[in-house]
Chain A
């Protein structure tokens, strides 16, 4: 069974940092691009970042570019999101998602809540 489990969320002050993890199982992790998607409380979905299978290529939404870094450890089947210089508007549930057919997201984790507040 394909499974994605996020962790690392919590309460952080504005300007602080947090590192999210996403543990993957049930599929050949290194063969898939992976993504982070977030959802602010009561709001819609927003794509955050992607990384390719071997970690050599990535992209970011403009709102997080220069502050967030995405990486992966294929030996540990784990995806990461390093979030620096956090802002109140970064408060959201962060989902990791597997890149599926035709540029869709075919499997999602349960999400981890990040709250940026003083």
Chain B
């Protein structure tokens, strides 16, 4: 089973700042099968990025994804108040889907 490790656990930033979230896999992941989600308190997750760098429908272009192999990154170019939330990466491999433990982006 591929384990995804996200860092940092918590990111404290101010609105307008740039956020860089990391997702590292225990073994190589096909870029096609790496996704990112946003989850706000009391809400279901929302798909942001799929295929490592493809934006889901309706997602603002301040969100972007990159990476390959074992290292992937979610970048939020300029944080808006509604972006403070928990972010999860997710991969598919060997008939299993796994998630990272999440990164909380909080207001500094």
Contacts and interface: CB of A to CB of B under 8 A. Distances in A.
Contacts, number: 64
A101 B95 contact: no
Chain B contact residues: helix, strand, loop or mixed: strand
Interface in B31-73: 32-33, 35, 37, 39, 43-47, 50-51, 54, 56
Contact of A102 (B32, B98, B101, B102): B32
A41 to B, nearest CB: 12
Interface of B: 32-33, 35, 37, 39, 43-47, 50-51, 54, 56, 88, 90, 92, 95-102
Interface of A: 35, 37, 44-47, 50, 59, 61, 95, 100-111
Chain A contact residues: helix, strand, loop or mixed: strand
Contact of A108 (B46, B54, B99): B46
A46 B99 contact: yes
24 contacts: A44-B88, A45-B88, A45-B90, A45-B99, A45-B102, A47-B96, A47-B97, A50-B97, A95-B45, A101-B54, A102-B35, A102-B50, A102-B51, A103-B35, A103-B92, A103-B97, A105-B35, A105-B37, A106-B47, A106-B50, A106-B56, A109-B44, A110-B44, A111-B44
